[in-house]
Amino acid sequence: MKIFDLLAFDWYDIHSDRTETAKIFGLCDPRGTFFFCESQPAETCVQGLWGRFLEQEEETSRRNRRCPGFSAPAEGGYGLSGPVRGEVNEAEAHILSGTQATKKDVLHRIIAWRRELLRLKTIL
């Protein structure tokens, strides 16, 4: 059984005086994403949008290669990825359980985390 997604819609350029619509058909499957456009303006629009999407994907990939402990959420900013989040959660549980030797040790650990986060933020 082949799995794929189809998308079809009528498109028109809201920034143009032209009001004619053009059909756009999109097909997404494991081999790639393909668009079929009824007109040249529709094709130009899809090429521009798809190009911007690919640029954003490359930027996200580049950032994640530089700092693999972080991931970029869809709405901007950065979040801790799974392994790093687990490490921080484990350390927090250790601190909150009271097994940390002194308050000074807790403060030193928090300061070290903040410094590392600030360092990572500057390279992203």
Instruction: Round the average pLDDT of the chain to a whole number and report it.
Output: 75
Q: Is the pLDDT of residue 68 over 60?
A: no
- Name which residue leads in pLDDT, 121 or 20: 20
| CA atoms within 13 Å, Cβ hemisphere of 1 | 1
Distance CA 109, CA 114 (A): 9
pLDDT bin (cut points 50, 70, 90) of residue 23 is: very high
Q: Confidence band (pLDDT; 50, 70, 90) for 75? A: very low
* Phi, psi (deg, nearest 5) at residue 120: -65, -40
